[in-house]
Every structure is written in C-alpha cells, then in structure tokens.
Structure 1
Amino acid sequence: MEYTTSLEGIKPEMLKGFFVDWPSPPSAETHLDILNGSYTRVLAVDQENNQVVGFITAVSDGILSAYIPLLEVLPDYQNRGIGRELVQRMLKELEDFYMIDLLCDKNLQPYYEKLGMTKVQGMCVRNYEHQSGR
C-alpha cells in the first residue's frame, strides 16, 4: 500500500466505489475535483490494482483551523488499518494548527477517540439536494 498526498497520476477511473450508501454520490470526476480542492489530502493506493482504496481530506484557512470532512476506505479494504493510517498521516499534516475538527456519527466517535481525538458537541446543516456535488 502506498500513501500519498500527491494527486499526480490520479485519474477518475482510480476513484470508483467510494461514497458507499450515499443516495446521491459524487461522480468519480467530482471526487477528483474534491481532492484537488482540498487544503490537503492523503490517499491510500493499492499499486497492484492501480486503485485508490482510501482517502481523507482537510479544508483549512491555512493558519489556525482545519476541518476533516471526508474519510473513506473501500469496503474490501476495511479492517486492515488503512483508515487509522490515513487519520494519523492527516493529523501529522495538520499538527501545526490550533483546531482540527471532525464531525461524525455517534457510533464512530470511539474510533476517533482511539486515534487521539476528543469528543465535543457540534452543529451542522445538511443540504441533501446538493449531496452529489453537482
């Protein structure tokens, strides 16, 4: 498994199968746009299959705060430590920021606590009609 922050050589066809269980998932082309538009990202690439199998993104003001909106590992690659590695690498990328925030469902909070994050309360708005991104 190769981990990279670079998008060099990453093509939409390498991003198939993500956004599992989303009713209106972004296309692979939009997914690549999301990765390009992120402040930083870390990808897990299965070099044998030339496939991105996991990714995490961050958006930031570049000074004080960063937010981690997306983390996903393809179902066939889960439970192999890839998600943990992606989070750890992202936290390393963002270690100079004061705030690193992430929102997740309640059932995922123990996972992130094991990775050093602290449970806090938050609020959000979801515009599901824009879920596909385009």
Structure 2
Amino acid sequence: MIYTTSLQDITEHMLEGFFNDWENAPTPATHLHLLERSYKVVVAIDEEKNEVVGFITAISDGLLSASISFLEVLPQYRGQGIGKDLLKEMLEELDHLYMIDVVGDETVKQFCEELGFQPSIGMVKRNLAFQSGKED
C-alpha cells in the first residue's frame, strides 16, 4: 500500500466502488473533481491492482482552520488500518494549522481520539438533491 498526496496518475477508472452506500452517489468523474478541488488530499493505492482503495480530503482557509470532509476506504480493504493511516498522513499535511475538525460516524471515533481529537458538539445539514455532486 502506498499513500500519496499527488493526483498526477489518478484516473477515473481507479476510483470505482466508492460511495457505494450512498443513494445518489457521485460518479468517478465527479469523485476525481472532488479530489482535485480539495485543499489537501491523500490517497491510498493498492500497487498490485493499481487501484485507489481509500482517500481523505480537507478543505481549508490555509491559515487557521481545516475540515476533513471525506475519509473513505473501499469495503474490502476496511479493518486493515488504512483509514487511520490516511488520517495520520492528512494530519501531517495540516500540522501548520490551529484547528482541524472531523465530522464522521462511530467507525472513525476511536482512531480519531487515538490521534488527539476531542469530542465536540457539531451540526450538519445535507441537501440530498445534490448528493451526487453539482458540476460547474
């Protein structure tokens, strides 16, 4: 497994299988745009299959704060520490910032706490009509 911040050789076909539990999932093309437009990105690549098996993205003002917006690992690769490794890599990318926020489900809570995150109260609003992504 390799972890990289470069999207240079990442193609749409390498992004199949993500968002599989979403009702109205983004296409691989939209997924690639999402990665390209993020402030920071780290992808996990299975070198043998030349396939992206996990990714994490952050949006930021580049000065004080960042929010980790996506962290996903393909179902068949879960439970191998890839998500935690992606988060560690992203924290290194963002270590110059004052605050880093993560909103996620229970599956990420433990390893977030292990990496120094503290529980917080948060709110989210979702517009499901645009769940697949709205291209410019």
Q: Does 1:44 align with 2:44?
A: yes
Residue by residue, what CA displacement relative to the aligned partner does 1:7-45 show, whole Å, maximum 9, x if unpaired?
011000000000121001100000000000000100000
Counterpart mapping for 1:1-134 below 5 A: 1-106=1-106, 108-134=108-134
Q: CA deviation at 1:114?
A: 2.1
Q: CA deviation at 1:81?
A: 1.0
Residue by residue, what CA displacement relative to the aligned partner does 1:81-106 show, whole Å, maximum 9, x if unpaired?
11110000001110110010011234
Listed as ranges, the gaps of 5+ residues in structure 1 are: none
Q: CA deviation at 1:107?
A: 5.5
> Aligned Cα RMSD in Å?
1.1
Kindly provide the amino acid, as one letter, of the partner of residue 57 in structure 2: T
Number of aligned positions between the proteins: 134
- Is the alpha carbon distance of 1:3 and 1:79 closer, same or farther for their aligned partners in structure 2, counting shifts above 3 Å? same
TM (norm. structure 2) is: 0.94
- Is the alpha carbon distance of 1:128 and 1:43 closer, same or farther for their aligned partners in structure 2, counting shifts above 3 Å? same
TM (norm. structure 1) is: 0.95
Listed as ranges, the gaps of 5+ residues in structure 2 are: none
* Aligned counterparts of 2:31 and 2:25: Cα–Cα separation in 1: 9
* Aligned counterparts of 1:106 and 1:31: Cα–Cα separation in 2: 24
Q: CA deviation at 1:111?
A: 3.3
* Aligned counterparts of 1:45 and 1:107: Cα–Cα separation in 2: 21
* Aligned counterparts of 1:64 and 1:5: Cα–Cα separation in 2: 21
